[in-house]
Amino acid sequence: MRIRTAVFPVAGLGTRFLPATKTVPKEMLPIVDRPLIQYAVDEAIEAGCDTLVFVTNRYKHAVADYFDKAYELEQKLEKSGKHEQLELIRNVLPAHVRAVFVTQAEALGLGHAVLCAKPVVGDAPFAVLLPDDLIWSRGQGALAQMANHAEATGSSVIAVQDVARAQTGSYGIVDAPTFSGRAGRIEAIVEKPKPADAPSTLAVVGRYILDPRIFGLLETTQTGAGGEIQLTDAIARLLPEAAVDAFRFHGTRFDCGTHLGLIEATVRYALDHEILSAPAAQMMQSALDEMGVTET
Ligand code: G1P
């Protein structure tokens, strides 16, 4: 079965990026010319999703506004013949895609945010995308790759990548001892273990395709790491009931929840941009030269 619904938990406070995130949600921070959320949305649409569920809070009007029709702006652009720009704002969401907004009244954790989407998702497998994790790929996007695997096998699928052992405390970590190609059956999953306790160094990246049975499990999942209701803990309880595969996607992931990750993504997308690439490379080179930054 092909997934049709994608859930975007976007209710986080984004305190790492204060003061910028005092008024601008972190999902609206731009990489070159598009906000982070747009990259995740495009990836979901490419994977075949036509219902996008944004789990927001009352401070995140900017996300809903962004996906709404901007009548005045469209009229102005039309009058002044700026057709290219008009297309850009019209194509934020293609006509066949609908956006649904659900409120997470309290910040009780990622698991709780996903549970808030239950009334919209219903009883079919669905995707979860964390827009902080930006995945750059020349070919097919990460979620489309995962959706193909889910469709072929009927498994739930979780994106993973190898990290340094010292970093396990920042991720969900899976134990998937045998891989065949890009996928390996998950035998255990644990949220943010200390390096010494981590079952492996295979870390969860923010892309999931989940069996809807996860909702029933989330309803009874107690608070876990960081005092929050963790999606990872509900997935751990799904393992005895359903096949869940770790998937090593093809692509590069940038952790845009950190300053360095956001900078890295900006540099990479600028260098990959069809018009900006050469001038951006030149500008970076002169900045390095002028600032006296040398290789270490
Ligand atoms: C969340 C998940 C974690 C996952 C990570 C990926 O953590 O809880 O399992 O590895 O996203 O970005 P967060 O980064 O929201 O603390």
Instruction: Indicate the top mutation candidate among 112, 171, 249 to test ligand 1's pocket, ranked by most ligand atoms within 8 A of CB.
Output: 171
Compute, in angstroms, the gap from residue 141 CA to the centroid of ligand 1: 20
| Residue 138 and residue 249 in contact, taking contact as beta carbons nearer than 8 Å | no
Q: What is the pLDDT of residue 49?
A: 97
pLDDT at 60 over 80: no
Contact between 52 and 99 under an 8 Å Cβ cutoff? The reply is: yes
Atom of ligand 1 nearest to the CA of 110: 8
Residue 102, in any domain of the structure: yes
pLDDT at 252: 96
- Please indicate, yes or no, if residue 200 is contained in any of the structural domains: yes
Whether residue 108 is predicted with pLDDT greater than 80 in this model: the reply is: yes
Is residue 285 in a domain?
no
Domain range enclosing 149: 5-257
Residue 275 in domain: no
pLDDT of residue 28: 93
pLDDT for 52 = 97
Say which residues have a Cβ less than 8 Å from residue 184's Cβ, sequence separation at least 6: 176, 177, 178, 245, 246
The answer to the question of residue 294 being in a domain is no
Number of structural domains (the chain) is 1
Instruction: At 93, list the tokens.
Output: 């969401």
What residue ranges line ligand 1, CB within 6 angstroms?
Answer: 110, 130, 133, 171-172, 191, 203-206, 230-232, 257
User: Rounded to the nearest whole angstrom, what is the distance from the C-alpha of residue 205 to the centroid of ligand 1?
Assistant: 7
Best mutation site among 202, 204, 249, 258 for ligand 1 pocket (most ligand atoms within 8 Å of CB): 204
The pLDDT of 62-88, averaged and rounded, is 87
Residue 171 has what pLDDT? 96
Flag whether 266 is in a domain.
no
> What count of other Cβ atoms lies within 10 Å of the Cβ of residue 61?
13
pLDDT value for 71: 82
pLDDT at residue 68, as a whole number:
82
pLDDT for res 115: 97
Tell me the whole-structure pTM to 2 decimals: 0.94
CATH of the domain at 185: 3.90.550.10
Residue 59 confidence (pLDDT) above 90: no
Residue 288, sorted as left (phi over 0), alpha (psi -120 to 50) or beta, turns out to be alpha
Question: Considering the chain, what percentage of its residues have pLDDT values greater than 70?
Answer: 99
- Assess if residue 222 is contained within a domain: yes
Label residue 19 by pLDDT band (50, 70, 90): very high
Average pLDDT over residues 167-185: 95
Over the chain, what is the mean pLDDT? Answer: 93
* Cβ proximity of 174 and 200 under 8 Å: yes
Provide the pLDDT for residue 294: 67
Domain assignment of residue 74, yes or no: yes
pLDDT of 295 reads: 63
